[in-house]
Chain A
Amino acid sequence: MTVIEARGLRKAFGTTIALDGVDLRLDEGRILGIIGPNGAGKTTALNAILGLTSYQGELRVLGRDPWAERDRLMRDVCFIADVAVLPRWMRVSQALDYVEGVHPRFDRAKAEGLLAKTTIKHTSKIRHLSKGMVAQLHLALVMAIDARLLVLDEPTLGLDILFRKQFYDSLLNDYFDRSRTILVTTHQVEELQHILTDLMFIDRGRIVLNCSMEEFEARYVEVMVQPGQVAAARALKPMYEREVFGRSILLFDRGTNKNIDRQQLAALGEVSTPSIADLFIAVVGNQSDREQGAAQ
């Protein structure tokens, strides 16, 4: 079942175009990571999906128009905007009471259970919790809601590595199942690589890459080329080349360059799957270079 379907999604703030015709389709049970540089339009896209901003083009989330039906949509959609949005004056117990009061799908016992695993006290005010604890609390509230789509916008921003790891572990172990769908944006790409099922790069309001992780692994190959083989490797038209400790690492796209096979590459050096971060730099960095070149 399709959870999100967008066609020609556009949004402009004055003369700045935040979304420039985005097509997106997300099915149930997927975990999609949206990666993009600052100002690429990630948050605008999420805001449109959550009914927080108006847009042009077609957009359906769980069959609804988010802008017209935000409050109804929020029965089935949860989101964590970033770690700082829980009201600071609230007590933990009040947060539980309130969400239980207004949300038909909130399971208080589950939230209490999740909180019991942390050091958060019910009587604490949110302003007295650390950043990591606020994130734990928000995640506990959200995971106790039986929602169909969970949207996370930079959920781990500013958290230390232990909290970040715990955050995603908890999400995968205690929350995710095949009937739920998660949409996440982050700059901490490395932590997401083994969690995602789908990947999307967005740059300047446009989708520059959209594939499943299986496709990603099949399509992109990184080769740390042996010193003597660099010329031969370059002849195969890599999409990107970088140097680490004096050794050239070439990234190949087998999608556009179909006649390259792994064995051929293995003869040139050590073959591996690139990290999302490296592919991101290759794809988005390349585009920027090209456009700058065109401008000159």
Chain B
Amino acid sequence: MNAQSNAMTESSIQSQGTAPAAVSAARAMYWSIRREIWENRAIYIAPLAAAALFLFGFAINLLAMRRHLSASPLGPAQQNDLLATRYELSAAMVMGTALIVGIFYSLDALYGERRDRSILFWKSLPVSDLITVLSKLTIPLVILPLLSFAISLATQFLMLVLSSVILAGSGVNIAAMWTEVSFFHVSVVLLYHLLTVHGLYYAPIYGWLLMVSAWAPRAPFIWAFLPPFVIAVVEKVALNTSYFLDLLEERLVGLQGDGMASHNAPKDFTASLIPHHFFSAPGLWTGLALAAVFLFVAVRLRRYRGPI
């Protein structure tokens, strides 16, 4: 980045005579990301709404439970279960929402600006196609996972507070609830999962969606999902195999166990962090290479494409 901005400054001085203020790539990136969030408020509203809905359901669940508890008090194991499984559920709900937002965001990211002709305005500013495409990729790869993490964490804290308030005086050991379920461990695993799986392993999926979004003359949704479907069907008909489908399936759901060996043993979180497995999987690296190709094509396409 440094070498690049130096080169920029030098060449401008040559053509300029006076030294111009140049906006650094980092600053251009920062404002490009901000503008994406301005435009697509679903990026934070949807996961927040999902979390709020979950908390609402959780509160109802707790109220029902309180009525039950007077009849049959919880054992210690059940008590631990009370929050741990629901923690996972809340994180899954927020992450799932973020995933869906990320997919639809990526499909529209480079298509919408061509459809509403605003690409002519964006291109009238000194922001390169590379920065633009990278800033759009940052949303599903970095911003959404980090946001999901923060929202999940807040949700889990609120769940703990809700449980304490609603179940207080019903025979449940509230103090144990706060110490039993280790906040730190849950969050470390969650963050790890979000950054590796959502940030790295899904990169080729988002790369593909962005590329289609940059290319599609219309209906990017169909262009994104029809080709994989057709390939899978043709493979089945021609060779009676389903390698392609398996590959896609593995990409979408198959990695769950890879980096997080024992997902349903919440008490032993740190042991389940096995970065070694994750980073030595060839699937990760071929996926990242593919993502890089998709992105390169998306950047080139944006240069050639105008309004539609």
Which A residues contact B (CB, under 8 angstroms)? 47, 50-54, 62-64, 70-76, 78-81, 84-91, 94, 97-99, 101-105, 138
Contact (Cβ within 8 A) A52 B123: yes
B36, chain A: closest CB distance, angstroms: 11
Query: A76 vs B35: C-alpha distance in the bound complex, in angstroms?
Result: 22
Interface flag for B71 (CB, 8 Å): no
With A54-B304, A71-B128: A102-B38 Cβ-Cβ less than 8 Å: no
Q: Which residues of B contact A79 (CB under 8 A)?
A: 120, 124
Q: Contact at B120–A102, with CB atoms within 8 Å? A: no
Cβ-defined contact, B116 with A87, below 8 A: yes
A180 CA / B8 CA spacing, docked (Å): 22
Q: How far does the Cβ of A101 sit from chain B's closest Cβ, in whole Å? A: 3
* A70-B303, A78-B124, A102-B32 known, 8 other contacts, Cβ within 8 Å: A50-B123, A51-B123, A70-B123, A71-B127, A76-B16, A90-B39, A101-B31, A138-B121
- For B129, the chain A residues whose CB sits under 8 A away are 70-71
Q: Which of B32, B113, B126 contacts A72 (CB 8 A)?
A: B126
B233 at the interface (CB under 8 A from A): no
Contact at A104–B39, with CB atoms within 8 Å? no
Interface of chain B, main secondary structure:
helix
CB contact between B39 and one of A76, A81, A89 (< 8 Å): that residue = A89
The listed residue (A52, A94, A103) touching B126 by CB distance below 8 A is: A103
A140 to B116, CA, bound (A): 21
Asked if B306 is at the interface (CB within 8 A of a chain A CB), the reply is: yes
Which residue of A84, A103, A138 contacts B23 across the interface (Cβ within 8 Å)? A103
In the complex, the answer to whether B120 meets A87 with C-beta atoms within 8 Å is no
In-complex Cβ contact of A105 among B21, B118, B127, B306 (8 A): B21
B108 to nearest A CB, angstroms? 12
Please tell me which one of the listed residues B22, B30, B34, B121 contacts residue A86 in the complex, with CB atoms under 8 A apart. Answer: B121
- What 4 A-B pairs are tightest by C-beta distance, nearest first? A101-B31, A71-B128, A81-B120, A104-B21
B120 to A85, Cβ gap below 8 A? yes
Contact indicator B15/A63 (Cβ below 8 Å): yes
- CB contacts (< 8 Å) of B307 on chain A: these are 85
Residues of A within 8 A of B11 (CB): 72
> Is B57 part of the contact surface with A, judged by Cβ < 8 Å?
no
Picked from B8, B12, B27, B116, the residue with its CB within 8 Å of the CB of A102 is B27
The contact string, 1 if C-beta is below 8 Å from chain A, for chain B 292-308, is 00000000000110110
B28 within 8 A of A: yes
A residues in contact with B23, CB < 8 Å? 101-104
A230 nearest CB across to chain B (Å): 50
Q: Does A74 contact B20, Cβ atoms closer than 8 Å? A: no
B306 touches A74 (CB 8 A): no
Q: Is the CB of B124 within 8 A of A94?
A: no
Nearest Cβ in chain A — how far from B8, in angstroms? 6
Shortest beta-carbon distance, A156 to chain B, in Å?
Answer: 16
Segment 68-98 of B: residues with Cβ below 8 Å from A: none
**A57 vs B144: C-alpha distance in the bound complex, in angstroms?**
45
User: Which residue of A is nearest B113, CB measured?
Assistant: A87
